[in-house]
Each structure stands twice: as C-alpha cells, then as structure tokens.
Amino acid sequence: MARILYLTQIDIDHGAVRLLPEECQRIGLRRPLVVTDAGVRAAGVLQHALHALRDLPHAVFDGTPSNPTEAAVRAALEVLRRERCDGLVAVGGGSSIDLAKGLAIAATHDGPLKTYATIEGGSPKITDRVLPLIAVPTTAGTGSEVARGAIVIVDDGRKLGFHSWHLMPRAALLDPDLTLGLPPGLTAATGMDAIAHCLETFMAPAVNPPADGIALDGLARGWGHIERATRDGADREARWNMMSASMQGAMAFQKGLGCVHSLSHSLGGVNPRLHHGTLNAVFLPAVVRFNAGAASIRHEQRLQRLAHAMGLPGCDAAGNEVAGAITEMNARLGLPAGLAAMGVTPDLFERVIDGAMADHCHKTNPRLASRDDYRAMLEASM
C-alpha cells in the first residue's frame, strides 16, 4: 500500500512576503516570534518581513547557527517565553526553519530534544501541541518550508532528523525577491541542495508517482536555471524557478532520500562548519554510480528519466552520464572539486560511516549500503 499525503498552503510569487499578516491572522498568531539568523538580518532581508508584519506585535530571535543546535533551540525558547509569543515565523534558510521546528517541539513537549528524534522512535511522540509555524524561506535549497522534517544537532553531538506531519508549516510564503541578494557561492550551494533532493528522492524505491513527477519537474527547473541564478543574482525568472525547484524537491522527498543525505548528515555532524548543500553536491556523483546497480533503478529506467530531465541524451547502465554531468556542473558553479578541498581527511571516515549507517535516510536508498560501500563512496568523493 502506498500512502500519499500533500501538504500545506503555499504561495509562490514575487512579493509574497506581503501576505504575512493575513496568514498570521488566519492561523491565529497574535504575537509571533520571528526566528532568523544574523546574516539574514545584516543583509536587510529580515526587514522586509518585519515591515510586512506592520503593527502586529512580535519578537525576534536571530541567533540561529549555520547548523541548528539544541543549545540554540534553548536560547530561542528563553526569548519565546520571556516575550510571551504564541507561534513562530521562520525567516531564513533551512537552518532557521529547522530551528523553528525544533523550538515548536521544545516549547510544548517535555524532555531533551533527542526524545523526539526519528531514529530514537520519537516521531509518534510529537503531537499537535507543537507551536504553529509560518515559513518564509530566503534561500532556494532545503525546501524545509514544505517538509515535515527538521535536522538539528542535539546535545550529544549527533545530527538527527525529526519527522512529523505536525511539524509541517501552516503556511509557506515563497518570495523569490528575498533571494535576489544571495551571493553566488551560496546560490550555487543551496541550489545544488535542491537539485540533490529532486535527484535522490526520484531514485528512492518507495511508490509515490505524484512525488516522482514533482521531483522530475523540479529537477528540470533547477538544472535549467541554477547557472543563470548563480551568474546573475538579479535574474528574477531564474530565482523564481530555483525557489520552485527547492519547494518541489521537499514536496517529493516524503518518499525518502538516501546515501547522499546519510553521508552529508553524518559528516555535517562531525564538522558543523561544512555546508550541507555543498556536501550533497560532492556526494551525488558517487551515490548515483552506486545506485545504478539497484534493481528498481534498472527496471524503471530511472537513470534515463533523470538524464532526460537534465537535458542529457541518455545515460548508460553505470550512471556515468548523470554522474559526470553533476561533476561538471559543480565545477562550472565554482563548488569544491571534492571533500579534500573542503578540508575533510580520511581519518574521519569511520566516524562518518557510523553516523551514515544510523541515519534515517540510510534505509530508504534503493541499494542498502554496507560500511565498505560507504567507505568507497567517501573515497570516490575525495
């Protein structure tokens, strides 16, 4: 049996942030806490959201780190309680939105955050008591604004996933204009994150034809516009399509992801300074080649369908054309050529493999990877 659930209210348009006050009213937020980060504030992007709120009382927490942590959730919780806020508006990239989801749990559920982590069996413990959340993404990458999950580094150092339909934002306001000032490097890295979601969820073996169609369309949009958006940050058409690709990747990845994310989640926990989207871009070629041997990939011609969405003439049984095109795209975007260029050394491999084997994305890959398989993928990604 295939259970298919979609999703939340989404508005995507230039200037969509202006809808923020009416969405707060619809959901019943009378005093939201705006969760963001210092970079979004410094870039002037936060001010667009605060201006849209007009005279609606609110407070701001701008201490989101690049990889959200349980410590940052506690810091935000102090502000939430001190200011007596009744809900959340996340303005930022995936980190701010994921931190807000962690806060939505912590504010209404007892115990340490790890209690509610997916791999700890915590998903059923997340109830409808979570704080309501509106998401306003300022990057086109994670798609967390339309996802039921969040990734947070908990106090013991693990980078864990939290998944519940109760964590789905009540509204997602996708305003491509908020991404116009995003620097080229961050545009490329977050854009490849979106492309990775579309690619990897399409390869996942779960049965969800609507998700497959959404992923392929998102991949075509992302692949066709990422270079334009990176080269010219003011290209509004490219920015719109990248934001749509990001949203579509997350709409689709309820199917599950796979080894790309198992590895990037784990390595990102070992070294939180590494950018998640960049790691996904670097791991993709090796994982595509590994997945080429999966029965579902061969039987359903999934590599050939990916190649078509990417505008490639085709793909051989080993996945070389798709994997090679990703490597070439990374180079054209100016992303690191491999893990070594990011400062990763082989002495970290065993810790990364430990985390990957335990990650919630491990079992939804089309081929179940062994420790040796993960080691080979790490070596191929150096």
The total of other beta-carbon atoms located within 10 Å of residue 116's CB is 28
Reported as half-sphere exposure (CB side, CA atoms, 13 A), residue 368 has a value of: 2
Q: What is the rounded CA–CA span in Å between residue 186 and residue 189?
A: 5
Q: What values do phi and psi take at 160, rounded to 5?
A: -115, 155
Token digits for 239? Answer: 């920015």
Q: What is the pLDDT of residues 259-273, one digit of tens each?
A: 999 999 999 989 989
- For residue 59, what is the DSSP state? E
Q: What is the pLDDT of residues 52-95, one digit of tens each?
A: 999 999 999 999 998 899 999 999 999 999 999 999 999 999 89
The pLDDT value recorded for residue 62 is 97
Instruction: Using only the alpha carbons of the chain, give its radius of gyration.
Output: 19
Task: Determine the distance from the C-alpha atom of residue 54 to the mean position of all C-alpha atoms in its chain, rounded to a whole number.
Answer: 29
The pLDDT value recorded for residue 31 is 97
The pLDDT value recorded for residue 1 is 44
The pLDDT value recorded for residue 6 is 67
Q: What values do phi and psi take at 322, rounded to 5?
A: -65, -50
Q: What is the rounded CA–CA span in Å between residue 357 and residue 266?
A: 9
Q: Residue 367's closest CA among 200, 197, 204?
A: 204
Distances (CA, A) of 99 to 14, 24, 88, 374: 25, 19, 11, 29
Q: Which residues of the chain have pLDDT under 50?
A: 1, 3
